[in-house]
Amino acid sequence: MGLFSKLKETLKNSFGGEKLSDSLTKTRKGFIDKVFDVFTGRAIDEELFEELEEILIQGDVGINTSIKLVENLRERVKIEKIKEAEQLRQLLVEEIIKIMGHETPRLALEDGELNIILIVGVNGVGKTTSIGKLAYKLKSEGKKVLLAAGDTFRAAAIDQLKIWGQRVGVDVISHKEGADPAAVVYDGIQAAKARVADVLIIDTAGRLHNKVNLMEELKKIRRIIDKEAGGALKEVLLVLDATTGQNALSQAKTFGEAAGVTGVILTKLDGTAKGGIVIGIKEELNLPVKLVGVGEKMEDLQEFNPQEFVAALFAGMEDAENEG
């Protein structure tokens, strides 16, 4: 069985693979098809490699990652004495599989104790919606969930989180607009302890990644968590909008340094041709994408499986191994 046939089989046997595949339709048409067209009816020469590198960069794989992928292909062409450009299709997919790895990064939650998840990210990336969907997912798994409205800069953010709380059926701890976010976090932790909650999910303001004072606010929140619930902070999840491409990488770098990010929630994967950003996040930042938004419904927040992602990207392609 050829590589692409194996990818199809992986997708066929995966839970939620069809939904993921549908969500990557625009990425396949806008990016993967262009990549594979480069290998059609071409000689293997420097022009081909340069064109491939350009398409990878345009596909928001990331500049460093794109360069690395092309360099690895160059090396393999020499070592394996590849003559046909079509054969590079499989080699490229193999190199992407190496980057993505085979391990599914899961949320680091412990049974029988309070788990705190801090959600960070800039305005407009779908942060509050992701919190609502995550609360729904965890509640569906039998966990008692509590939300804390730590974005006190906008009254709309507090109201939106309360609406999600009502939809999901979980309580929301909140103060008035303009209150100290750290005070909300403090009250959220006390409420979570009193109600023996399994998970406390904390919303934070949509901090612009170049605002030093707001990054300091994040650090203050972390200090409150450490003091009031030492060891309970299990995840700091950065919400990124897949449609922003390269900008998402720069956000991730800044937040990673300031907030100690442990993983990424990638939203709007179903509405973009920039799905290649997943590869760049993994390679350039070594940050695991833990959850992906693949639609508007409450259940459309899926655990990210790198094998299924690669399969969904490439399973529609035909095998180029010329098997007999």
Residue 112 has pLDDT above 70, yes or no: yes
* Residue-number span of the structural domain to which 261 is assigned: 115-304
pTM reported for the whole predicted model: 0.87
CATH number of residue 237's parent domain: 3.40.50.300
pLDDT in tens, 17-73: 677 777 778 777 777 888 888 888 888 999 999 999 999 998 888 899 999 999 999
Task: Look up residue 14 and give its DSSP letter.
Answer: S
Tell me the three-class secondary structure of 41-95, residue by residue.
CCCCCHHHHHHHHHHHHHCCCCHHHHHHHHHHHHHHHHHCCCCCCCHHHHHHHHH
What whole-number distance in Å separates Cα of residue 184 and Cα of residue 182?
A: 5
Same domain, 221 and 274: yes
Q: What is the dihedral of CA 235, 137, 200, 281, to 10 degrees?
A: 20
Of 39, 158, 154, the C-alpha closest to 90 is: 39
Same domain, 44 and 157: no
What whole-number distance in Å separates Cα of residue 189 and Cα of residue 228?
A: 7
- Residue corresponding to tokens 């509405």: 271
Of 183, 116, 121, 129, the C-alpha closest to 152 is: 183
Same domain, 137 and 226: yes
pLDDT in tens, 191-220: 999 999 999 999 998 866 556 777 788 889
pLDDT in tens, 163-198: 999 999 999 999 999 999 999 999 999 999 999 999
CATH number of residue 69's parent domain: 1.20.120.140
Split into its structural domains, the chain has a count of: 2
Same domain, 140 and 206: yes
Q: Which helix (H) or strand (E) holds 214?
A: helix 212-228
